[in-house]
Amino acid sequence: MKCKGRDPLTGKTIELEFGEAISSVAVVPADAGNNTYIAPGFIDLQVNGFAGTDYNSATTTQEEMAESMRALHSTGVTQFLPTVITGAPEAMIGALRNLSTVRDPSIAGFHVEGPHISPEDGPRGAHPAQWVRPPDVDEFRHWQEAANGCVRLVTLSPEWPEATRYIESITKDGVIASIGHTKADARQIQDAVCAGATLSTHLGNGAHASLPRYPNYIWEQLAEDRLAASFIVDGMHLPDSFLRVALRAKGIARSILVTDAVAPAMCKPGTYRLGDVEIELRTDGRVTMRGGERLAGSSLRMDHAIGNLMRIADVSLGEAVEMATRNPARAARIEGRARGLETGDRADLVRFVVEDGRLRVLETFVSGRRVYGAG
């Protein structure tokens, strides 16, 4: 296979030759009037569900998973982490076991968000309070057994006394520990980082409505250079000013786009489920707890997140693409994806155009196989 277009990371026009991996990359003369870009496929480290499918349900079928992945491919996503949130132990095990039966190269592993998070209103977010519990290495082992060893990332709060030992244990197994849904103090955050935590999950969300001027757990994570941070850029989860300041603090290289998408993403407004929680997609695109105002994930798609980021934070297309490709690949240690478009890298590719500040995906390839084409 061959593809040609502008590389948003370098600005050069390139021609790629590829099978499952990229076999050659050549810089070629630019075609006058050709505004097509070719980039590494997008990577989303936090997807709770998509296109009507809830990844937190143990009864989700293979057909429903396949349909949701086809929808993800249409947004340029080529690899993602299905995300299981706080729930009853048997429910989380059931969801992970069910997900582990899906054999698809788009799935790079699983993200378990909770249940070892803050029990307080605010930082707990939409996670059900009755199932919040302390970190437990034995429970993690049960997850991995159910998931056939595919749990790649765990979000937890360092405020628990058991957190440091837990982080040391899971990172020793090669799993990424991420700080999120927390009210941890500065010392607890530092202890977590020293134990091996390397990421902050959707920084700025899953927090109290009001915080002390200083110290507070958001500033502490922003200031910690050993932590990368993910952000939900849908124009609803974060104020524009916070996003701009956060990106300056972290720098592009340590910043990651995630959608935190849930089942109603790419669906009509209405009532859906996120595990045990009833959620509602509003006409303005917000996803909330049913009958309330608390956000419960998002309806964001990654191609829109990149356009939003360019508009809100005034970053370049290349920088926005980097936050959706190389940066999450490095943070989650996804093999063959951390360098970009280079010989030997996995042929996860997306071709798109930019129209009025928005991306329109033309084609998506996963391991060299065309999984989406517009027209």
- Let me know: does 4 contact 362? Beta carbons within 8 Å: no
Contacts of 61 (CB under 8 A, 6+ apart): none
Can you list the domains of the chain with their CATH numbers? Answer: 41-337 (3.20.20.140)
Alpha-carbon distance 257 to 125, whole Å? 19
Site of tokens 């859906």:
272
| Confidence (pLDDT) at 375 | 59
- The residues assigned a catalytic role are 260
Contacts of 74 (CB under 8 A, 6+ apart): 361, 364, 372, 374
- The pLDDT tens digits of the residues spanning 234-279 come to 999 999 999 999 999 999 999 999 999 999 999 999 999 999 889 9
pTM exceeding the 0.85 threshold for the entire prediction: yes
| Confidence (pLDDT) at 33 | 66
| Confidence (pLDDT) at 81 | 98
DSSP 235: S
| Confidence (pLDDT) at 91 | 97
DSSP 70: H
The DSSP line for 29-61 is PPPTT---EEEEPEEEEEESEETTEETT-TT--
Buried b (16+ CB within 10 A) or exposed e, 173-189: eebbbbbbbbbbebebb
| Confidence (pLDDT) at 31 | 83
- What is the residue-level pLDDT of the chain in tens, covering all 375 positions? 999 999 999 999 999 999 999 999 999 998 866 899 999 999 999 999 999 999 999 999 999 999 999 999 999 999 999 999 999 999 999 999 999 999 999 999 999 999 999 999 999 999 999 999 999 999 999 999 999 999 999 999 999 999 999 999 999 999 999 999 999 999 999 999 999 999 999 999 999 999 999 899 999 999 999 999 999 999 999 999 999 999 999 999 999 999 999 999 999 999 999 998 899 999 999 999 998 889 999 999 999 999 999 999 999 999 999 999 999 999 999 999 999 899 999 999 999 999 999 999 999 999 999 999 975
For the chain, the residue count is 375
Contacts of 159 (CB under 8 A, 6+ apart): 118, 182, 183, 184, 185, 188
| Confidence (pLDDT) at 347 | 97
- Let me know: does 246 contact 224? Beta carbons within 8 Å: no
